[in-house]
Structure formats: structure tokens, C-alpha cells
């Protein structure tokens, strides 16, 4: 029942079985011992530890993009940080995917036929200029580098501001910045991150620290 499943799925099935035994004990067989109460079993199916994602503020993202002199690299960083794109989606972009005001994502992670990415108009203009300058055809990849090379590019960019940065931190920044700028969470979910489930989006949004909470309260009531 649990083989080859993620820890969260294993935990859910463990909970169902444990609840079933408790129901039998409470309603029919009080002498029955719930085998799922054994410490070794609890340890195997313990709840996954919550991951606290790093949230990078807008000023840091702006500085990283501004100080990245290579146009290809700065464009990739901006697509992830301001368009909420996954690194794989950026690497698979083709000139034919550039629309008038949006980008098309072919074969997205969601399994849908395609998805639409909304990015700032200025970014689209720069992207079109980059495509024309390099004379890409409609079926060429705009960023013809490997996943490893793209990851390495992000790691070099984080050294510009002395922080630890992963490609997905840029996507999380896009979501959190939009949310804290007043964008409804439904828009963040469906437009910025293109999630099917709102609960997935809520896990992306960063934890509010004390100084941030004070600043928001002062903004509202100060």
C-alpha cells in the first residue's frame, strides 16, 4: 500500500489504517491493540518536515539582473523571477512561442496541451530584440544551453549579491512578490504559477517575518 509512494502519501495511508483500528477498538473490540501505535511504525510513517523556502526580496532580484551583463543570462533570470517560469520552460522557449503580450509554454509540467505565461511588456521587447540579434528561426531554442549550464549560471549570479540562490527561488520570488503587492492569491496561483491546486501555491508563498509584519501593520493603520 505504500511501496514507491512519496512520504506524504505513505503518511496519509498510515493515518487511514490507524483511524480504522481506532474505530474498531472504540466501537466493537476494546481489547484490540492498534498495531499502528507501535513506535517503530510511527517513526517509519512520520510526517514530512515542512521546508522553509528562501524568499528573495525585489531589491536583491533587481540588483542580480542589473549586474548580470550577459543579455542571454539576464533574460533567463528575468523570465524566472518576473514571469514565474520554471527553468525547464525557459530552456525550451522558441521564437514561435513569443506572442504579442504573452509567452506560450509547450508541453508544460501540468500535462496540459499548453499554458500561457504573462511577463512585463519591456521584457518581451528585450526578448524579441535578442531573438532578432541572434537570427533564431521559429523552431530554434532561444537559450540553447543545458540544464546544468543554466543551473551554473544562476549560481554565478548569486555570487553578485552574496546569497545562496537556486533557479526555483526565482519562481518563488515571482509568486511571493505578486502576493505581497496585493495580487489575489487566485491570480498568483492561476496566472503567475499556473497551478491547478491553490494549496500548492500557498506552500510557495514565503513565511512572513516580524519586521515585515510590522511594516504591513504600519502601512495599514499607521
**Lowest pLDDT segment from 52-61, 63-72, 174-183:** 52-61
**How many angstroms separate the Cα of 75 from the Cα of each of 83, 98, 140, 178, 200?**
11, 14, 16, 19, 27
Note whether 13 and 121 are same-domain residues: no
pTM recorded for the entire structure: 0.71
Q: How does pLDDT run across 159-188, given as a tens digit for each residue?
A: 999 998 999 999 999 998 888 888 898 899
In a domain, 51, yes or no: no
Full domain range(s) for residue 12: 7-44
CATH number at residue 82: 1.10.443.10
Note whether 120 and 25 are same-domain residues: no
In a domain, 93, yes or no: yes
Q: What is the pLDDT of residue 49?
A: 59
Q: What is the pLDDT of residue 134?
A: 94
- Of 87, 69, 57, 62, nearest to 156 (Cα)? 69
Q: What is the pLDDT of residue 121?
A: 93
Q: What proportion of the chain, given as a percentage, has pLDDT over 70? A: 90
C-alpha cell recorded at residue 25: 477498538
Q: What is the pLDDT of residue 216?
A: 67
Do the beta carbons of residue 91 and residue 109 sit within 8 Å? no
Q: How many domains does the chain have?
A: 2
Q: What is the pLDDT of residue 198?
A: 81
Amino acid at each position: 500500500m505504500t511501496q514507491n509512494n512519496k512520504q506524504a502519501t505513505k503518511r496519509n495511508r498510515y493515518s487511514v489504517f490507524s483511524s480504522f483500528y481506532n474505530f474498531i477498538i472504540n466501537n466493537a473490540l476494546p481489547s484490540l491493540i492498534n498495531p499502528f501505535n507501535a513506535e517503530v511504525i510511527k517513526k517509519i510513517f512520520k510526517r514530512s518536515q515542512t521546508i522553509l523556502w528562501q524568499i528573495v526580496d525585489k531589491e536583491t532580484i533587481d540588483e542580480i539582473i542589473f549586474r548580470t551583463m550577459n543579455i542571454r543570462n539576464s533574460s533567463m533570470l528575468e523570465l524566472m523571477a518576473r514571469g514565474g517560469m520554471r527553468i525547464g520552460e525557459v530552456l525550451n522557449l522558441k521564437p514561435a512561442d513569443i506572442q504579442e503580450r504573452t509567452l506560450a509554454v509547450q508541453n508544460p509540467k501540468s500535462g496540459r496541451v499548453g499554458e500561457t505565461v504573462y511577463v512585463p511588456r519591456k521584457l518581451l521587447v528585450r526578448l524579441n530584440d535578442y531573438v532578432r540579434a541572434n537570427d533564431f528561426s521559429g523552431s530554434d531554442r532561444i537559450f540553447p544551453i543545458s540544464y546544468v549550464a543554466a543551473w551554473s549560471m544562476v549560481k554565478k549570479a548569486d555570487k553578485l549579491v552574496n546569497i545562496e540562490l537556486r533557479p526555483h527561488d526565482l519562481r518563488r520570488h515571482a509568486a511571493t512578490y505578486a502576493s505581497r503587492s496585493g495580487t489575489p492569491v487566485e491570480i498568483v496561483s492561476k496566472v503567475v504559477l499556473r497551478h491547478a491546486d491553490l494549496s500548492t501555491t500557498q506552500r510557495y508563498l514565503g513565511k512572513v517575518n516580524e519586521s515585515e509584519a510590522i511594516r504591513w501593520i504600519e502601512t495599514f493603520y499607521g
